[in-house]
Structure 1
Amino acid sequence: MNWIILIIAGLFETGFVFCLGKAQLTTDKESKFWWLGFAISLVLSMFLMYKATSGEHALPLGTAYAIWTGIGAVGSVTIGIIYFQEPTTFWRLFFVMTLIASIVGLKSVSS
């Protein structure tokens, strides 16, 4: 169950990056909406990370942190490409794939 919580925490990390990007592109009331989304996503991400690394079946903190930030990094690059027209080059995609392989590797060697 803690692995699922950790994955959701990583998705909320991607969510706060998306909200931050949208907040920077908007103004006034719409910008405040995105800043609120940023704050909510940030708090939920941190709280879920805490939950995944505490309790009876806690995940190792170092492993959980690496996976959490990895999910956030891959999600952020993906969001940047899809929604913010960031460049899609061979090397960007290559290193995102190596990051995904590292996340899967850490999960597979963790108890």
Structure 2
Amino acid sequence: MAWTLLGIAGLLEIVFAFAMKSSEGFTRLVPALFTVGAGLSSVVLLALSMRTLPMGTGYAVWTGIGAAGTAIVGMAVLGDSAAPLRLLCIALILAGVIGLKLVSSN
């Protein structure tokens, strides 16, 4: 259950970043509200997952999902660069997240 909560928290971290970009510096109300809601929900789910997961593993996976996912959404939706080295770096982040899951005892 903790891994499921952590995965959802990571996805909400992606929503948080996208909504923050869409809020244009908190000048647009609806995206700003999504930013706050997604951010708070993400942190709460991270905290719940860390009741049983090791702190370092939980935080690293949460950050990795958010970082890689946000970069992918930026490329797919916002036209950010999809340069090969950038894709390689994202793949390395995802490999680290998967590795942490595989070696975790929980």
Q: Distance in 1 between matches of 2:85 and 2:74?
A: 15
Q: Distance in 2 between matches of 1:36 and 1:83?
A: 20
Partner residue, 1:22: 22
Q: Is the 8 A contact 2:20 2:26 kept in 1?
A: no
Does 1:81 find its partner at 2:75? yes
Q: What is the one-letter code of the residue matched to 1:13?
A: E
Between structure 1 and structure 2, the one with the greater Rg is 1
Any gaps of 5 or more consecutive residues in structure 2? Answer: none
Partner residue, 2:7: 7
TM-score (norm 2): 0.95
Q: Distance in 2 between matches of 1:42 and 1:26?
A: 14
Q: What is the one-letter code of the residue matched to 1:108?
A: L
- Provide the alpha-carbon RMSD of the alignment: 1.4
Partner residue, 1:48: 45
Runs of 4+ with deviation above 3 angstroms: none
Identity of aligned residues (%): 35
What is the aligned residue count?
105
TM-score (norm 1): 0.90
Q: Is the 8 A contact 2:64 2:94 kept in 1?
A: yes
Q: Distance in 2 between matches of 1:26 and 1:70?
A: 25
Change over 3 Å in CA distance of 1:26–1:64 after alignment to 2: closer
- Alpha-carbon shift at residue 26 of structure 1 (Å): 9.2
Q: Distance in 2 between matches of 1:102 and 1:8?
A: 18
Change over 3 Å in CA distance of 1:34–1:52 after alignment to 2: same
